[in-house]
Structure 1
Amino acid sequence: MLETPCLMIDLKKMERNIRDMAGIVHKCGVKLRPHIKTHKIPSIAKKQLDGGAVGITTAKVSEAEVMARHGIQDIFIAYPVIGDAKIERVLKLNQTTRLTVGVDSRQGASRLAELAKAAKRTLNVRLEVDTGLKRTGVPYEKAVDLAEAIHSFPSLQLTGIYTFRGALLREEPTRDLESAGLEEGEMAVTLANRIRERGIPLQDVSVGSTPTAAYAARVKGVTEVRPGTYVFYDRMQAELGVCSLDDCAASVLVTVVSRPTEDRIVIDGGSKTFATDIQPNTPPLHLTGFGHVVGHPDIVFERMTEEHGMLKVTKDHPFQVGDRIRIIPKHICSTVNLHNRVTLESGSGENVEWEVSARGHLT
């Protein structure tokens, strides 16, 4: 019998999600490069590659190192690589892997170029552009000049641009995912063409998160999309309308450890089990609680401490100490990063554990 709390993965649903996204993207004639931040598991990345992905995306050098050790050969680190130690690791990884890294500043590009030159290597880079999320990325209006500066470094090969925007439309959160995706794609293509007018032969225009990938991929000139959450989906994506709750391949199995009052049950999963980065009742979705209780949509997962989850129930709910329930997390990416392993349900009655190999790889 499985010990709880336990992160469960429905293998058939996951494989269907992988297959469906690949079909949507390929129909548009665009490459799929999924972000492994959601699952952090090499075996799942290989399933995505077998399903038609051209390579993978990571956020950190250490994630790329884990994936490369498991035989994955085409990796994009979609994050500015800053610091000599990290750059040296990138250059080492680049000896055995088809690697591309993100840059968003002249300072960062200059140091990459210096160390690449010293190692007598050429490093592929993509310029990250801020299209409204106000995170990393050169401001949109400054991107052409920075592209020219990066292009001037002989040891760097500027292959393209990329952006991450999420569900934004005119820089505001939206549920109109089609308009958001089309706007994201059009902004990136327009910018890429302006850079090409300066004599820089960009190949890659990489955009698209799980909510927007299917729409951004329609834009002529977009070459690649990088969704991540789609492999499992979660309650946020279901609320956005990207998927149904039944499409969610990941859930957390927990045990009721206490029912101290008629209107409260306590489970053995708290903030060390479920992500807390998306708080309840925050825009744009204003979701109640920290997850969806499967089979009981009226129950509210209202608060957590480290080891306890408190769920509001009505007195007619029959839950007793020892009962087990499943919860679809609000945000699956951060939830996976709290677990050392996942349990795959194949439908045959046999469960298989997979290590979350890139969990906690933050450098």
Structure 2
Amino acid sequence: MESLEPTKTLEALGKLDGLEALETPSLLIDADRMDRNIEAMADMARIHQVNLRPHAKTHKIPAIALKQIEAGAVGITVAKIAEAEVMAAHGIRNIFVAYPLVTASKIERAIRLSEQIELIVGVDSLAGAQQLEHIASRHGHSLQVRLEIDTGLRRTGVLYEQAAALAAEISAMPHLRLTGIYTFRGSLLAGKPTLDVAAAGKEEGALMAQLAERLRTQGIAITDVSVGSTPTATYAAAVEGVTEVRPGTYVFHDRMQARLGVCSLEDCAGSVLVTVVSRPSADLAIVDGGSKTFATDVQPGTEPLQLKGFGHILGLTDATLARLTEEHGMIELGPLAQAANLQIGDKLRIIPNHICSTVNLHNHVVMQRDQTYTRTPVLARGMLE
């Protein structure tokens, strides 16, 4: 990793005198805040006596995954087999691919990887399970699997009321070891988006714990009940019968989590450093970060968050990152922000709405500890297959 020259501290209005060694746009990570976030979630899991298996899709950096494991995580979660391969190549020995693997090529790769590390894969359909069984049988190999349950998000996952029948069929397959069930629900309550993450987490945990108990009465040995995103993990972990939580965003946090009340903006470790490249009018500043820099999947003005703009601009209370094109970010300036008299060449820091998708847009992050800046490659960036 390349060490950069120390720089001056931030000015009051979010302008930066220093950081001249960094080109913009650049994704900065406050390492001390990140460390505190890692420790806080690990402490929560210990208090509730559940396993912590962070989702590495947020950071995509093996060195950070190793920090999470050192703090107490049992392993990590990924979405793609390519991410698992990168993580395993850098020393991660326990990985859950929380995504249905249905193509022969991906299943072959999973089998090869499971011969080297402890690997768990997701399944949510009979067709998918049959494909896993067929290829595992051909290799004379046993794959550990978890059944994904749809608890209301209407994404992947077998419908809740059909889960028992599917679990029975999977458990009868000789080359699949069904050890658990899992879900991703986010901040949903009674099927609708909510800001009441406590109630959402408790409902999520209860639904899954009840299902696990029902499966056990059918003779299916479910040992792992895996739930919980960053907003709901603390509350789902408190439900009796839940054994594991899989938060991801907490490692950096973002504006979305702050709006949900999970953290404060001061807890957000990630921000994007941008430069003002144009001042067309008093109420408008253009920066060099657009949709290729900031994630746009969490749109402004949508329920339940009702965020204004695509990020929180540090130090400029009435400025809004209102519009993005590929290479341009349009910041609308209110009276207070206009008084700051931004100049072309000034630098600003912006906390993105969604840090996970933002990280995947960058080849590297810049880790900041005190006044030392270090480039760290995002090794699993773009590992989508």
Q: Which band: TM-score by shorter chain?
A: over 0.9
Aligned with residue 109 of structure 1, among 124, 129, 152: 129
Question: Following TM superposition, by how much is the alpha carbon of 1:295 offset from its aligned partner in structure 2, in angstroms?
Answer: 1.2
Output the amino acid matched with 2:177: Q
Aligned counterparts of 1:36 and 1:26: Cα–Cα separation in 2: 20
Q: 3-state SS of the aligned residue for 1:310?
A: strand
Aligned with residue 161 of structure 2, among 117, 129, 141: 141
Q: 3-state SS of the aligned residue for 1:283?
A: coil
Pairing 1:357–2:379 present = yes
Kindly report which structure 2 residues correspond to 1:61-100, keeping only aligned pairs within 5 A, or say none: 61-100=81-120
Aligned counterparts of 1:83 and 1:154: Cα–Cα separation in 2: 20
Output the amino acid matched with 1:337: N
Aligned with residue 317 of structure 1, among 304, 317, 340: 340
Aligned with residue 306 of structure 1, among 326, 344, 349: 326
Output the amino acid matched with 1:362: L
Aligned residue pairs total 362
Equivalent residue number for residue 326 of structure 1 = 349
Aligned counterparts of 1:154 and 1:9: Cα–Cα separation in 2: 46
Aligned with residue 12 of structure 1, among 17, 32, 41: 32
Structure 2 spans left out of the alignment, 5+ residues: 1-20
Structure 1 spans left out of the alignment, 5+ residues: none
Report which stretch shifted further, 124-133 or 290-299. 290-299
TM-score of the pair, normalised by structure 2: 0.93
**C-alpha offsets along residues 124-177 of structure 1, whole Å, 9 cap, x if unaligned?**
000000000000000000000000000010100000100000001111111111
Q: 3-state SS of the aligned residue for 2:271?
A: strand
Question: Following TM superposition, by how much is the alpha carbon of 1:317 offset from its aligned partner in structure 2, in angstroms?
Answer: 2.9
Output the amino acid matched with 1:351: Y
Kindly report which structure 2 residues correspond to 1:182-201, keeping only aligned pairs within 5 A, or say none: 182-201=202-221
Q: 3-state SS of the aligned residue for 1:328?
A: strand
Q: 3-state SS of the aligned residue for 2:129?
A: helix
Aligned counterparts of 1:353 and 1:41: Cα–Cα separation in 2: 12
Q: 3-state SS of the aligned residue for 1:54?
A: coil
Question: Following TM superposition, by how much is the alpha carbon of 1:221 offset from its aligned partner in structure 2, in angstroms?
Answer: 0.6
Equivalent residue number for residue 291 of structure 1 = 311
Equivalent residue number for residue 53 of structure 2 = 33
Pairing 1:48–2:92 present = no
Q: 3-state SS of the aligned residue for 1:57?
A: strand
**C-alpha offsets along residues 286-320 of structure 1, whole Å, 9 cap, x if unaligned?**
11100000111211100011100000013323100
**C-alpha offsets along residues 15-50 of structure 1, whole Å, 9 cap, x if unaligned?**
000000110111000000000010000000000000
Aligned with residue 346 of structure 1, among 369, 377, 381: 369
Aligned counterparts of 1:175 and 1:280: Cα–Cα separation in 2: 16
Equivalent residue number for residue 118 of structure 1 = 138
Question: Following TM superposition, by how much is the alpha carbon of 1:109 offset from its aligned partner in structure 2, in angstroms?
Answer: 0.4
Q: 3-state SS of the aligned residue for 1:186?
A: helix
